[in-house]
Structure 1
Amino acid sequence: MGKRMVIHKWKVWVVRIAFSCGLLIISPTLQTEAATKNSWTVKVNNEYKAKLVKKKDQWYLQSTSIQMKNKKGTERIAYLSIPSNVGLASGYYYFWTDGRIDKRKKFHALDTKIGTTRFKGSYYFGKTAGRLKQTAGWIVFKGKKLALNKNGKLYTNRWYKGYYLTEHGTIATNRKISGTLYVDAEGKKCAKEEVKLSKLRIKINEKLKGYSGNWSVYVKDLKTGDVLSINETSMYPASVIKLFVMEAVYAGAAEKKSVLTAM
């Protein structure tokens, strides 16, 4: 019995050692394969499968069903359903003619249809790796304030949150929009008479920042009839005589300066 027990234990240890060695041999192989994986199967436009290949820091879509080189610039967009472990989020992407994802944060003009979704206009591919930004709201692009709808399309020639957006998507300023609608230097709606003095409004507001007293400002250009009103509140008017006194003082100072210069 003693010899049998020894032989049995010896066999168990041999099996354990062999199994451990097998793990040591197999594990590096699995790690190498995982480290070198650069191709994944993705679904395109929820219709067919394709290969998404990563080469250095670039992503390429390889498929016989869709060839970007055969598409117009306004059609080179596709929706990719990507596995979570790839490192690239699912969404709409714009492509170069060689099938490479355009990772730049920029607008692309589109005129195409994917499923039931129609794309026509300028769209902002401003998310990570060039993915289409599908969130409505304001963005700042190249120093300009622009607005998008929920599909990432640039708003143009329309009102948005109190501002009128031009054909380029920028906020219109100091101009007539239509009929009796005007916007001032800040792009806000105003009366026709307030357009020319709107820059003065900005300067006055800057001067009055942090002022806690009761105040109201009313300005009228006596030559053009343009008016400006800020914080319109009923108050006792300032003495008109003081204005004439101030004018006389300034006129006298200017005249004295002229005389001194002539001497």
Structure 2
Amino acid sequence: MTESRRAHFPARLPGASGPAKAPAQATPKTAAAPPARGHGLDSDAVRARMVERLRALGGMEPAALAAMQAVPRHLFIEPALAPQAYLDNALPIGHGQTISKPSVVARCASVLLQALGARPARLLEIGTGCGYQAAVLSHIAGEVYSVERIRALHELARSNLRALRLANLRLLFGDGSGGLQAGAPYDAVLSAAAADAPPDAWLAQLRPGGVLLAPIGRPQRLMAYRRHASGKVESWCVEDAHFVPLKSGLV
């Protein structure tokens, strides 16, 4: 990606060109991230220790763990919280939102990989937040489209991600409660916010065989939904969940 393209993440998506085909491997272009001075957080060893703790939890896909190793989480949080960057904590990012626990991000990526049996060619994330999960997803998918309804967070994510130069990641400011028809169909849709029921638009924008992963209901459960070519939707519960609620409208 050229510097000019990197500096201006697209505000709109080009039209999709038919169903996505899963690639053998996703290879986002990345640049070295600037170090966090005084904390030693730029060390690969710090992330490696986090990844080993995630591996010990069990059920994590190697590709998901490799993505967690590749993305420096401390770049996505406030400097005052930097010492907690590689602990398994959700942390505030402003506007009533949080950056998810590393274990939650790794778990969601692993569930998608396991459910699809391959790396998704095209993935939609609902709720960009600070951009951390989108960066991780860019290492397991061919293309990632991430939508955020809070403009301040959209701009924060753009700023956080700029140095990483992830050429296969597109950030959009918009209301993701209705999905993103312009990029459909998707191999996977992942929501970072909890809905009472899976929105029809999210399911409709999946390709046949595609998977939606979202926190659903009260109490929340992390649910997976597979859309079959016949129109039938298969669902299963992954685990209990605790996410911020899904909201509509732009802020």
Provide TM-score, normalisation by structure 1: 0.22
Q: Which has the higher contact order (CA 8 A, sep 6+)?
A: 2
Flag the structure with higher strand content: 1
Provide TM-score, normalisation by structure 2: 0.22
